[in-house]
Amino acid sequence: MRVAFLTAPAGVEQSELEQPWKAVLNAGWEPRLVSTRPGEVQAFQHLEKADTYPVDDVVGQTPADEYDALVLPGGLANPDALRREARAVAFARHFFDAGRTIAAICHAPWTLVEADVVRGRTLTSWPSLATDIRNAGGTWVDERVHVCRAAPGTLITSRRPDDLDAFCATLVRELGAQEFGT
């Protein structure tokens, strides 16, 4: 199973990239860092620069069909930049249209709001996105992790870095079910 981790060139929250990445890797699947530009992605620990990560694939150059699932890490700047990139928004929307699993944490649902895929779905996020989600036709809940299986695909969402353990465990469980058709 190939899992795309979509990030902007800068602003991704390091823990929200690294921990799900390790969970996917430890489950025996292939994580791929997808960005809007080649090169490296600059991660942050809150507002402080942290590590950089090499980009594996570029949106628009690698078809979304080459991935089985999508993870959208948060951070404040990352999803804000992604939602302004039409190719990134279309990439995310493709996973819903194809019925594939999407996992988003913290501010990452902003990209999903822009892709117009939260309508009729229930999700959680960083609390300040609640109004955006409701205005986009979704239902916001305050939970560590929430799984919405509304057709056509599965949406896993979580609120913040403190919820990463639950987010990662749920991600692995749901992708395992997807992989084995259970």
Q: Which residues are catalytic?
A: 106
Distance CA 38, CA 135 (A): 34
User: At 37, is the secondary structure helix, strand, or coil?
Assistant: coil
Distance CA 178, CA 106 (A): 23
- Name residue 174's beta-bridge partners: none
Element (H, E) at 166: helix 164-180
Element (H, E) at 123: strand 122-123
Beta strands at 10-13 and 48-54: parallel, antiparallel or unpaired: unpaired
CB 180 within 8 A of CB 34: no
Tokens representing 54 are 């090499």
Distance CA 38, CA 64 (A): 16
Beta strands at 57-58 and 155-158: parallel, antiparallel or unpaired: unpaired
